[in-house]
Amino acid sequence: MGVHPSAVIEDGAQIDPSATVGPFCVVGSEVVLGPDVVLKSHVVISGQTTVGEGTVIFSFAVIGEIPQDLKFKGEASRLEIGERNRIREHVTMNCGTEGGGGVTRVGDDNLFMAGCHIAHDAIVGNNVVVVNNAAVAGHCVIEDDVILGGLSGIHQWVRVGRGAIIGAVTMVTNDVIPYGLVQASRGHLDGLNLVGLKRRGVARSDITALRAAFQMLAQGEGTFHDRATRLGAETESDYVREIVDFVLADTGRHFLTPK
């Protein structure tokens, strides 16, 4: 524990006594490192960035830098990272912009594998896995328990619902329902994340209800919105209700629909 003598700590930085700052790290003046945070060597943290308890950031990650957005004019914005995250080598996370609310938020217990990117104003929930070199664009919402496969890309303003899984090398341009499975180079909603549901111990009755709901959304009469509305009137499953609420939320976005 402690701060390595080769680290550069700017005046004003707040570092908990239990935190560890490794060799050749740079910590900016507005950074706050919570209890038991660990920075391996050569980590750069800048901007108004808060890192929660127990988070470990590995070498050559760049956290809290300004957005990669030409509309950004230097306005005050921040990055909030929760507890017990694992942020691996060469990960980049940017602060927010005025147009997106001024904050990028990352929840708890997430794994960000090497080379992935979290852009300005993104909201990432809890227990999310972002695999190597995946990229989340600005203003996206990634809900809890999502897996983003390696080299995948999430287009700006897209929402990915809880428990969904995105296959490797997939480009996602529209919202993904909770528990959805998306794959192919231009992503299609190809089913449900059944493996993830089983791993979390979801009851068989709920999985059966989800499968029936997916078939209704895929093959029922009327528009996708009509089918979701009808499904909401009929279901008794909380999991199906979560999908219905997600679809019917007024966001102005389109959805990936079943093939």
Query: What share of residues in the chain are helix, strand, coil (percent, to 5)?
Result: 20, 30, 55
Residue 29 near residue 47, CB atoms below 8 Å = no
Measured CA to CA, the distance from residue 147 to residue 151 in angstroms comes to 12
The residue written with tokens 């190597």 in the block is 132
**Candidate list 69, 121, 145, 175, residue with the active-site label:** 121
Is residue 121 annotated as part of the catalytic site, yes or no?
yes
Is residue 225 annotated as part of the catalytic site, yes or no?
no
Give the torsion sign (CA, 94, 55, 61, 44).
Answer: positive
Is residue 138 annotated as part of the catalytic site, yes or no?
yes
Tokens standing for residue 184: 């192919």
CA 69 to chain CA centroid, nearest Å = 19
Specify the 3-state DSSP secondary structure of 234: helix
Measured CA to CA, the distance from residue 258 to residue 219 in angstroms comes to 8
**Candidate list 108, 120, 163, 167, residue with the active-site label:** 120
**Candidate list 52, 54, 115, 138, residue with the active-site label:** 138
Active-site residue list: 120-121, 138
